[in-house]
């Protein structure tokens, strides 16, 4: 019977691939593996590379990621030493260090591993946080903060149990988020608003105060200027009076004439406004109306 060479080649290749799949396996750089024979632990493989095996179901290979895996859980409410409620999220990094123990205790399931680690981490978180005051979590003073110490204590609480029971090394624990419950958040908002209102009042009062001071200073300065000016006026007027009186000394040479001139000026000034004069014939020059000769008079009102 003639056999088709293509069929033979294909069958040979397929048989080789199948055999390799059955009898070999690879472990990547990022993996560690456990080999079991009929369900019993045979060996673990921590180095990457090519390995031989017996086919399933005689031997089974369990591969695990040997890199650090992260997880975080709920934003959970807890209480500080000074009885302040806070919300806190913690994250952790873990990796498989004992693959056999990991397989036996957690069935090699990373989801189950994280579910198992969660209560450990929550317990450590709540326990450690309750030993510290709120001011050691939040403060403007660097010396008061105990963030590193809190994380170190949480890690120290979790690590031994995880390693000895589950074959897991918890590499780090960190605080990702800190918050306040909603009821307290509302109060913080109220306080922030009140603090802002204080500033509003302060600015308004400062503005009013500064404005009033400036106005008062302006008034004061203006009054000072006017007062100075008036003093100057008085001085100038006095000087003028003094200088004028020098000139008026000449009046002493003929007081009679001076008085006459003063009276004449007074008469002139007093009749400038609306006036009514009732005169008789004795008053010059109306005395001329009584038949007396022009320019002949016997008396004068100014005499």
122 lies in the site for another protein, by CB under 8 A: no
8 lies in the site for another protein, by CB under 8 A: no
Distances in Å between the Cα of 67 and the Cα atoms of 117, 120, 301 are 17, 21, 137
Query: Measured between alpha carbons, how far apart are the two ends of the chain, in Å?
Result: 184
Residue (of 25, 33, 28, 96) closest to 67 by Cα position: 96
19 lies in the site for another protein, by CB under 8 A: no
- CB of 53 closer than 8 Å to CB of 25: yes
Binding mask 128-167 for another protein (x = CB under 8 A): ------x--xxxx-x--x-x--------------------
Smaller CB distance to another protein: residue 74 or 191? 191
In angstroms, the CA 111 to CA 106 distance is 9
14 lies in the site for another protein, by CB under 8 A: no
Smaller CB distance to another protein: residue 93 or 116? 93
Where residue 101 falls (left for φ over 0; alpha for ψ -120 to 50; beta otherwise) is: alpha
Segment near another protein (CB under 8 A); pick from 21-29, 112-120, 122-130, 156-164 = 21-29
Binder among 1, 2, 3, 29 for another protein (CB under 8 A): 29
For tokens 């004068």, the residue is: 300
Binding mask 182-201 for another protein (x = CB under 8 A): --xx-xxx-xxx-xxx-xxx
76 lies in the site for another protein, by CB under 8 A: no
Angle, CA 225 vertex, CA 224 and CA 226 arms, to 5°: 90
Residue (of 94, 110, 92) closest to 154 by Cα position: 92
- CA dihedral sign of residues 91, 93, 98, 102: positive
Q: Between residue 228 and residue 247, which ones bind another protein under the rule CB under 8 A?
A: 228-230, 232-234, 236-237, 239-241, 243-247
Smaller CB distance to another protein: residue 54 or 145? 145
259 lies in the site for another protein, by CB under 8 A: no
Pairing of strands 31-37, 76-79: unpaired
Binder among 73, 78, 84, 126 for another protein (CB under 8 A): 84
262 lies in the site for another protein, by CB under 8 A: no
């Amino acid at each position: 019977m003639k056999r088709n060479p293509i069929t033979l080649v294909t069958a040979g290749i397929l048989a080789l691939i199948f055999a390799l799949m059955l009898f070999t396996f690879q472990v990547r750089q990022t993996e560690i593996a456990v080999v079991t024979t009929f369900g019993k632990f045979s060996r673990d493989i921590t180095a990457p590379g090519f390995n031989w095996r017996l086919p399933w179901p005689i031997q089974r290979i369990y591969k695990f990621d040997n890199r650090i895996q992260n997880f975080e859980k709920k934003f959970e409410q807890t209480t500080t030493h000074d009885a302040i409620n806070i919300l806190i999220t913690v994250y952790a990094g873990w990796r498989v260090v004992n693959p056999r123990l990991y397989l036996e205790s957690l069935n090699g399931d990373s989801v189950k591993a994280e579910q198992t680690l969660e209560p450990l981490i929550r317990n450590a978180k709540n326990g450690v946080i309750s030993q510290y005051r709120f001011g050691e979590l939040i403060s403007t003073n660097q010396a008061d903060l105990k963030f590193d110490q809190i994380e170190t204590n949480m890690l120290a609480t979790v690590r031994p149990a995880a390693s000895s029971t589950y074959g897991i090394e918890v590499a780090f624990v960190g605080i990702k988020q800190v918050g306040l419950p909603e009821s307290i958040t509302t109060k913080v908002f109220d306080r922030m608003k009140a603090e802002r209102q204080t500033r509003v009042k302060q600015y308004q009062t400062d503005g009013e105060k500064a404005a009033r001071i400036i106005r008062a200073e302006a008034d004061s300065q203006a009054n000072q200027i006017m007062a100075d000016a008036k003093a100057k006026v008085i001085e100038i007027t006095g000087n003028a009076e003094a200088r004028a009186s020098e000139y008026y000394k000449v009046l002493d040479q003929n007081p009679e004439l001076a008085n006459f001139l003063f009276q004449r000026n007074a008469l002139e000034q007093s009749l400038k406004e609306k006036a009514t004069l009732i005169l008789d014939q004795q008053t010059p020059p109306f005395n001329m109306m009584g038949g007396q000769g022009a320019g002949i008079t016997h008396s004068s009102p100014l005499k």
